[in-house]
Structure 1
Amino acid sequence: MQNELDSKFLLRVFDKIRQFGEKKDDKYLLGGITAFTDLDGYTLFVEDPQVKLSFGFHNQYHFDYEDKEHYEKFEKKLKQIDKEY
């Protein structure tokens, strides 16, 4: 399943989740989306219960989901966070 990812959009939403989200351990939660990094900070993880996205060095990314509808709901949550914060 191929999805186009706007890296600037993702980084902006990731930053908003970290700024305005609830911190729990090393993860941040906002609008049903969890955001965190690996230990070195080079890979970002953005996920909800149905979709997992890893975004790393040189703008490489990988989505993991079973149903296109799950991805569409995930994308809608990201856009909502970007719009509201």
Structure 2
Amino acid sequence: MRNELDPAKVLQAYENVMANGTPTEFGKIYEGVEAFSDYDGYNVYMRGNGVELKVGFHNTYHLEYDQEHLRDSFLKKVAMLAK
């Protein structure tokens, strides 16, 4: 997984969810992806289908998932949201 994600694309997807999504308890959800940030905005989170992606300060990221096919499906959806 090293360097597979382009943080700029992830942030584009995040902005798309925040602009077009419907409110949830934590942030907004759009196309099955929920997006939210921590209170200071330094970390943004996207999750869906058993996968959580955290993008932190200096464009670091961390993916949490149980199964690789879920990760792959989630990342494809994030890529689609970034367009």
Deviations 1:26-74 (A, max 9, x none): 4110000000000111000000131001101011110000111001110
Equivalent residues in 2 for 1:25-40, closer than 5 Å: 25-40=25-40
Q: What TM-score results when the alignment is normalised by the length of structure 2?
A: 0.89
Residues of 1 paired with 2:33 and 2:50: CA distance?
10
Deviating 4+ runs (over 4 angstroms): none
Indicate conservation of the 8 Å contact 2:50/2:70, yes or no. Answer: yes
Identity of aligned residues (%): 30
| Alignment: residue pair count | 82
Give the gaps of 5 or more residues in structure 2.
Answer: none
TM-score normalised over the length of structure 1: 0.87
Distance 1:63 1:51 in 2: 7
Aligned to 1:54, the other structure's residue is in SS state strand
The Cα RMSD (Å) is 1.3
Gaps of 5+ in 1: none
Structure with larger RCO (C-alpha < 8 A, sep 6+): 2
